Amino acid sequence: MAERAFDLVIRGGKVVDGTGGPAFEADVGVRDGLIAAIGKDLPEGAREIDAAGRLVTPGFVDIHTHYDGQATWDERLQPSSWHGVTTAVMGNCGVGFAPCRPQDHDRLIRLMEGVEDIPFPVLTEGLPWTWESFPDYLDAISQRRFDIDIAAQLPHAALRVYVMGERGSNREPATAQDIAAMAAIAKAAMEAGALGFSTSRTLNHRTSDGQPTPTLTAGEDELTGIALGMKAAGKGVLQLVSDFQNPAEEFAMFRRLVEKSGRPLSFTLAQSARGKDGWKLLLGALEAAVDAGLPMKAQVAGRPVGVLFGLELTVNPFSQHQTYREIAHLPLTERVARLSDPAFRARLLNEVVDARGPFAGSALRAWDNMFLMSEQPDYEPTEADSVKSIAAGRGLWPDEVALDHMLSNGGRGMLYHPFLNYADGSLDPSFAMLSHRDTVPGLSDGGAHVGMICDGSFPTSNITHWTRDRTRGPKLGLEAVIRMQTRDTAAAVGLLDRGQIAVGLRADINVIDYDGLTLHAPAVAYDLPAGGRRLVQRADGYVATVVAGEITYRDGEPTGALPGRLVRGARSAPVAMAAE
């Protein structure tokens, strides 16, 4: 039998190629894991996908995930791989598990438990700890196979504790000797294949016992030393998250890091209710830096960053009620029964609570900014959709409405509290940020916040909401959104061998039923090590996902193929493309 010209042909689809240019109808031929031809009436492939009436896009590149633990025990990096992601970057926000000395295992687990809401028993049972150095960690990951490609960054918290021990955890200033040691490790990590370095400067990131992240107050001299270690390697990107308490001063420091090291940098940008227009000032400073020739980007979210509350989840509006605490340890079915008992319900609803802590006080009873999560989520709800408004319309107290919804579906009903990008009750700030020339989509946090947040579905909601379904303001073009989360994100971290439908690039491809693309509500799965719980979110409409030329998913279900590998460092574009 004659050898076929292609291993795979995706035939007759509407190609949205990732450049932002107009869609066009074509076949896409794949050979040896690469895109080999794009055109009409290509020869038959060993395998074929009928894409008539479907979109054919590059695989999505998610540059902000936290699969550092999951990648050591799981082959399927879900939920991201359910949403067309074919490459993910982990190790963001300064947290991860390498480098790490044996005596510091529990210290890093407590940090990840607090920052990313991954339970201690899950990490204790799941992490094999077959590494100490960061190159050791990369070697361990490189032995594994996945449904997507994964790239790793050197996390500052782990690095600081590794070099400074207890002093690092206690946020003591680094000495010149400490900084030199961190710089040397950063250089070696980049040379071993780290994609970059990440750090956190936000009070939102705390250990499970309430201590701030070790990197919160790291000095500019420390960050500069590490960045210069990356400069010595000639490799790596910088990723930072900050509270921007003093925006001008903080951004000026970020700018100096790039000026001195020459390394690209991205930072988290979102609208906060505390300073509703702060993001505009930062975008202005970013524009000036980019105009000066500095490689800087802001990572932005296409929908609110929001916490989910529920009886199965980490917190709910009654978590601080002593009455609820009496039953909090019971299985869900027993809690539902007790909460449905009229006498117990009355006692719970009539209890007066003095909520402690900034989050508990502001979020757990924020009825005017809390919404009922439905089977088809609405991530741009109106004031009329709030628990407060629904309660007023029904003649009930808001906590009654909240409790009734959480008791629905066998106690699995969820409440949604957006706390970033929604200070004005609309996604107009997200629209402005996404549309800006110096931003890229990010912040999905796939693999993290498993009991409170489920944003690994960002790539799907970016398409459905911004190009098709939005009713409360302007939309974005389909070609632009595909470009944002393919070519743009890939380029931001130096992965120039993917992110477009172009001859010579990796055959990472999605075939999508655009009209049928539908995001479902988050749900709880108990599939982590030690039976741990996590939020997951599925979607309909992904006809096929292809990674390195192999079909990994058909109609949302895994095929068994695991072509994904560790990506060591940046990747150049093929010579032919680089010359264009």
pLDDT of residue 379 exceeding 60, the answer is yes
H or E element at residue 480:
helix 478-483
pLDDT of residue 362 exceeding 80, the answer is no
Region of 166 on the Ramachandran plot (φ > 0 left; ψ -120 to 50 alpha; else beta): alpha
* Digit-coded pLDDT (tens) for 514-573: 999 999 999 999 999 999 999 999 999 999 999 999 999 999 999 999 999 999 999 999
Residue 210 has a pLDDT of: 84
pLDDT of residue 1 exceeding 70, the answer is no
pLDDT of residue 576 exceeding 80, the answer is no
Neighbours of 437 (CB within 10 A): 9
Residue 94 has a pLDDT of: 96
pLDDT of residue 272 exceeding 80, the answer is yes
Residue 209 has a pLDDT of: 82
Which residues have C-beta within 8 Å of that of residue 534, sequence separation ≥ 6? 450, 451, 524, 525, 527, 528
Residue 579 has a pLDDT of: 43
Residue 580 has a pLDDT of: 45
* Digit-coded pLDDT (tens) for 152-172: 999 999 999 999 999 999 999
Residue 115 has a pLDDT of: 86
* Digit-coded pLDDT (tens) for 415-456: 999 999 999 999 999 999 999 999 999 999 999 989 999 999
CA distance 439 to 488: 9
Average pLDDT of the residues in 82-89? 98
* Digit-coded pLDDT (tens) for 454-504: 999 999 999 999 999 999 999 999 999 999 999 999 999 999 999 999 999
Are 283 and 433 within 8 A, CB to CB? Answer: yes
Q: Beta strand 542-547 with 509-512: parallel, antiparallel or unpaired?
A: antiparallel
CA distance 509 to 142: 23
Reference 8, options 534, 552, 565; nearest CA is: 552
Q: Which CATH class is domain 61-303+423-492?
A: alpha beta
Residue 190 has a pLDDT of: 98
Name the pLDDT band for 205 (thresholds 50, 70, 90). confident
Return the DSSP state at 217. Answer: T
Parse the chain into domains and list their residue ranges: 6-58+506-578, 61-303+423-492, 307-420
Are 479 and 337 within 8 A, CB to CB? Answer: no
- Round the average pLDDT of the chain to a whole number and report it: 95
Locate the DSSP E strands across 192-281. 196-201, 237-242, 265-268
Q: Which two tokens stand for residue 340?
A: 């449905």
pLDDT of residue 232 exceeding 50, the answer is yes
DSSP letter for each residue of 264-304 = -EEEE---BTTBTTHHHHHHHHHHHHHHTT--EEEEE-SS-
Residue 206 has a pLDDT of: 87
Neighbours of 97 (CB within 10 A): 25
CATH topology for the 6-58+506-578 domain: Urease, subunit C; domain 1 (2.30.40)
Report residue 54: phi and psi, to 5°: -115, 160
Average pLDDT of the residues in 177-193? 98
Which residues have C-beta within 8 Å of that of residue 288, sequence separation ≥ 6? none
- 31: helix, strand or coil: strand
pLDDT of residue 354 exceeding 90, the answer is no
pLDDT of residue 358 exceeding 70, the answer is no
* Digit-coded pLDDT (tens) for 301-346: 999 999 999 999 999 999 999 999 999 999 999 999 999 999 999 9
Q: Which two tokens stand for residue 277?
A: 């227009």
